[in-house]
Chain A
């Protein structure tokens, strides 16, 4: 069924009974978790196991890249075309977590989901007929209404999806199978797929970190809080430090992101680790195994080598000098090494102490308390016992332990504090959306159909998704 056909078919049908546009939404559900760094997209499957469902999820960089040789590459083609990441520049349609620039986003979506040639390689996420597809699109909490409206209009008027749900990303996590993760008794299977009763979602992403108390799949808006530190800030901070201390890496966002992902960790004892990495203590500890200092060998696109981390070799410089004379292999001589000591833990520390860069915002554990403080006291225990961490930063080693320790310290001793990470923190939201889609009844309750949009317009859609209709 083509677009034009659908319209001509819909119009005469609507004329006689304009009051009741069809509420029916197409059975196929496509879910896009439109993050600032990557978007997670794929068709919802009826698979019961998480692994099976996740196999339908594809992660696509949500950006346009301009490489060193001035080529511009759109999101989905990046992984196959770009090898040389030096001095790569990015343009991201999602700014500060909110979908702002539709000009770029439309191009990325077209290339990822709609165009035949571009999507030939990855048929799994192709949307041949949007009219027969229900779209579940996530947005960050506290999106400005004007941006929401733009999104609704683009989705329904540019592509014309048959059914459409726009919802807060964190809330979808409540649909995941979190009971086994928290060690709770499993629900009886006959109840079907339902969201968790109380789930406190900490979403630490690329642009910011948000906390959202989710009650039976719905957000409690008044308690949503945002810390303006995300993966981007960590990468940029590391970039800045390294540029100050070692090589100038200010244009190497992508490479520094790789460095961050491979070396950074959240310390549980900042002071001790700081002493360990002090330059005066280094010589003493050079031989010990638990040294924090590591070397990161920068990628070499000419030799087609990727960057990697290895234990610190304090004598590397001397070796190189000697080797240059005695003819050491050119590989070792040509490699560039970043030595990373306290940078490894001082950078992710920003999530817990934003005051380290002078930012006047509380860290993640206190943000959770601030969020709970505006809720009735009866809910505190339920939410504290179900803290669920998603987002890319949840993958930083030590993050979970630190969060649980600090949260334990600042909360009342009568409350049980349980902090769990999603099995796949990046795709967890998408997976929740996939499970929501299997609950047809609930999905059709929250979704709007194309006919409804055409009848009532985007203002109505906005109110509908805000829960006012």
Chain B
């Protein structure tokens, strides 16, 4: 018995159960097959010559073909269908033929469900059709019945046994992970490198809708970025406005001025703009240090973050604690959790006067005692529909106090991370006339600026068409 590793089939980790390698060479197998085929054909022609000497040549070939393929379907594939479970270890002639064939299609070795079903149908229906075909071929000639018709009942009984095997689909261990090799994948990108392969059908539409999908040309993207930067400016022109030094001296500057600390001097001398600071920060983050923020936050930041995320996911479950969190009149910003926990039970204890001093009480009991301590809630009328599932409110519960503490303890996001994301639903972009502000219906072919109509377009063309976008 060979192990899974030394079988000749492709998909290297295929596991043909109990594989035994062939004993006959491929030549011997092919030779046997050829002889068998030739025998079938010779036999058919002999039978035809005896039974129907007046058949035309075409009809003879057709009948021969039908008998040949019927034999293939019934004998070869029937063999497979019948023995599919033990294929890898079969050493008889047909078994060895199948193993040779499976080198091209290894599904035949693993009881692949599709192949099994298909083969079952082929063996059954194919043989039937072939029989019918060869019978019909005879019929028009009007003479005696062809033998195969008499053979039908025997076939049927054989097929019955095949039927038993038919719809027993067994799931096999799937080999879906990546295999060495390559395959064809449709690449429908619209990038310039794929221009040649992109379908030519919707070319114009692709250009026209370029703005919609977010892949606008870099030139246009630059123009937009420039425009936004322009809108961000304080003054149209670059001006330097120095701090009026003279004024400060005149106004009797405070005497403490001369003993500025080195920090203050450094900060005052710094000519850094927001962009400089921002670049520093980005570089620090990219370097993995997280810049000053990492220093300030300390080690705990990441841990807390993960915990809070996990906590927020299962937030819905902590119902009791949450309602309390909402109603309770804890101090404005709840101090660190352990302190709050220790404080609360004691307050509750004095109110309810049940001596249960338990500093390490779980949250829920905590909550219950406090519930008791609170003033009675306004009573609601009880009706029989209170437990009606149709009237139940499915509003999610407030997260528990602990989750809120974790959320509040999270460090601040970076400048970039806090910027709002692009809109979720991509509304079609609105274009406006550059001259009058009405809808921009037509686009200047030189500079791609929109105008609303011919009036505005002419004005634009005459005076402002910059041709550079």
Contact = CB atoms under 8 A, between A and B. Distances in A.
A74 B423 CA distance: 41
Contact of B244 (A74, A191, A277, A375): A74
B277 interface: yes
6 contacts: A91-B241, A144-B278, A251-B235, A251-B236, A358-B227, A442-B333
Contacts of A110: 248, 253
Interface string B402-427: 01100111111111011111111001
Interface in B289-337: 291-293, 295-298, 300, 308, 312, 315-316, 322, 326, 329, 331-335
B300 A215 contact: no
A118 B252 CA distance: 9
B392 interface: no
Q: Which of B277, B308, B412, B414 has the most CB of A within 10 A?
A: B412
A197 B326 contact: yes
B218 to A, nearest CB: 13
B280 A224 contact: no
A66 B417 CA distance: 36
A103 B243 contact: yes
B263 interface: yes
A218 B331 CA distance: 12
A220 B407 contact: yes
Q: Which of B243, B273, B414 has the most CB of A within 10 A?
A: B243
Nearest to A99: B274
A376 interface: yes
Interface string A434-455: 0000010110011000000000
Contact of B332 (A98, A194, A462, A463): A194
Q: What 10 pairs between A and B have smallest CB-CB spacing?
A: A358-B224, A376-B315, A145-B292, A91-B241, A377-B396, A95-B274, A362-B423, A153-B263, A342-B437, A142-B418
Contacts of A301: none
A96 B273 CA distance: 10
B420 A227 contact: yes
A146 interface: yes
Contact of B418 (A65, A218, A220, A225): A225
B228 interface: yes
Interface residues of B, number: 96
Contacts of A157: 260-261, 263-264
B214 to A, nearest CB: 8
Contacts of B421: 361-362, 370
A131 B397 CA distance: 47
A362 B292 contact: no
Interface in B368-410: 395-399, 403-404, 407-410
A236 B413 contact: no
B277 A222 contact: no
Interface string B211-236: 00010000010001001101111111
Contact of A253 (B234, B260, B274, B403): B234
Interface string A98-142: 101111101100110011111000000000000000000000011
Contacts of A158: 260-261, 264
A377 B332 contact: no
A65 B239 CA distance: 11
Contacts of A459: 295-296
Contacts of A232: 231-232, 234
Given A90-B241, A222-B407, A463-B298, 7 more contacts: A115-B251, A147-B277, A149-B292, A153-B267, A253-B236, A376-B315, A442-B332
B40 to A, nearest CB: 72
